[in-house]
Amino acid sequence: MSQPSVEAAQSLEGKLVLVTGGAKRIGRSIALRLAREKARVIVHYGESEAEARQTAAECGAVGLCRANLENVPEIVSLFEGIEKRFGRLDGLVNNAARFTRFDPMDVTEADWDFIHSVNLKAVFFCCQQGARLMRNTGAGRIVNLSSLGGIRPWADHAHYCASKAGVLMLTEALAKAFAPAITVNSVAPGVVRFAEVEERARDLVRVTPAARHGSGEEVAEAVVYFLKASNFITGQTIAVDGGLGLR
Ligand SMILES: NC(=O)c1ccc[n+]([C@@H]2O[C@H](COP(=O)([O-])OP(=O)(O)OC[C@H]3O[C@@H](n4cnc5c(N)ncnc54)[C@H](OP(=O)(O)O)[C@@H]3O)[C@@H](O)[C@H]2O)c1
């Protein structure tokens, strides 16, 4: 019987990786970490141009692009622009998202669409467009930022939780659809703090086994793991949550 071919884990040096929502917070941590891995980074942003320019400068980004991810034609143009300029894409990190807190009884159709248009629809179309481009070289790595809220139910975030649970299922379904050339995995952060934490986040930190919130760098570590992994690791999720999701 012939041996199946084994694809070795790869270095990110010289790999072209797009990070959506890369201007600030977790996206910025991922972009900076990728730069340390010597990847060629493309920073995407929506509204935060100044912060995106700053992040791009700090990580020596090869590209900086704006797109409103609510809008599928803008997503298509984003990837067409990358294809025109670079002709390839090795990695895609779907980090951009929205987060709101509402009593489910108060959620309107507009509130629902506000969350789902970016958190789920845009992730799907970025995966689709990214995979199309990755097929030019016959290989690629996609990492979707989901959330512990997609695994555990949070009452005041029912619509957000549903969008992130959708990201987890997209990750699994697209991992099968895009195999064997392209892997699709997910990182599910717990509480990651950047500014003052609201009371609810403080409550979550109190019941986090690690007894603290996480950092953008810790999320970036898991993202890099999947970007480097062989194609034998696909459709998987790593929770970066200090154990908060453990039952
Ligand atoms: N922070 C946490 O504790 C935590 C917990 C669980 C999961 N996560 C997930 O981890 C990822 C990063 O978290 P974060 O807290 O750093 O995210 P964030 O600050 O809430 O959002 C990241 C970026 O998404 C971009 N974005 C939102 N809507 C957009 C649109 N319509 N078009 C283009 N860009 C858009 C924004 O870019 P601009 O500012 O340029 O507009 C924003 O800076 C997200 O997927 C989040 O759901 C975070």
Give the residue, out of 44, 48, 192, 240, with the most ligand 1 atoms within 8 A of its beta carbon, to mutate for a pocket test. 192
Distance of CA 152 to the CA centre of its chain: 19
Atom of ligand 1 nearest to the CA of 48: 40
Kind of pairing between the strands at 16-19 and 140-145: unpaired
Which tokens belong to 183? 């892997």
- pLDDT computed for residue 10 by the predictor: 86
SS3 string, 99-151, reads CCCCCHHHCCHHHHHHHHHHHHHHHHHHHHHHHHHHCCCCCEEEEEECCHHHC
- pLDDT computed for residue 247 by the predictor: 77
List the one residue out of 50, 52, 51 whose CA is nearest residue 42.
52
Query: Cα torsion for 235, 239, 240, 244, to the nearest 10°?
Result: 170
Supply the residue whose CA is at minimum distance from atom 26 of ligand 1. 96
pLDDT, tens only, 29-57: 999 999 999 999 999 999 999 999 999 99
Do you know the residue count of the chain?
247
Supply the residue whose CA is at minimum distance from atom 24 of ligand 1. 96
Atom of ligand 1 nearest to the CA of 94: 45
Task: Assess contact for 242 and 206: CB atoms under 8 A.
Answer: no
Which residue stretches of the chain have pLDDT < 70?
A: 1-9, 196-198
- pLDDT computed for residue 196 by the predictor: 66
- pLDDT computed for residue 197 by the predictor: 64
Kindly list the domain boundaries of the chain, sorted by start residue. 16-240
**b (16+ CB within 10 A) / e for 45-57:** bbebeebbeebbe
Among 45, 125, 160, 226, which one carries the catalytic annotation? Answer: 160
* Angle, helix 25-36 to helix 216-228, in steps of 10 degrees: 50
Considering the segment(s) 16-240 as one domain, its CATH architecture is 3-Layer(aba) Sandwich (3.40)
Three-state secondary-structure class, residue 65:
strand
- pLDDT computed for residue 2 by the predictor: 46
Active-site residue, 160 included:
yes
Task: Assess contact for 151 and 202: CB atoms under 8 A.
Answer: no
Predicted TM-score of the model (pTM): 0.97
Task: Assess contact for 40 and 56: CB atoms under 8 A.
Answer: no
List the one residue out of 114, 88, 89, 93 whose CA is nearest residue 34.
93
| Phi and psi, residue 143, nearest 5° | -125, 120
Residues whose beta carbon lies within 6 Å of some atom of ligand 1: 21, 23-27, 45-48, 52, 68-70, 95-99, 118, 145, 147, 189, 191-192
Kind of pairing between the strands at 91-94 and 40-45: unpaired
Atom of ligand 1 nearest to the CA of 47: 41
pLDDT, tens only, 148-161: 999 999 999 999 99
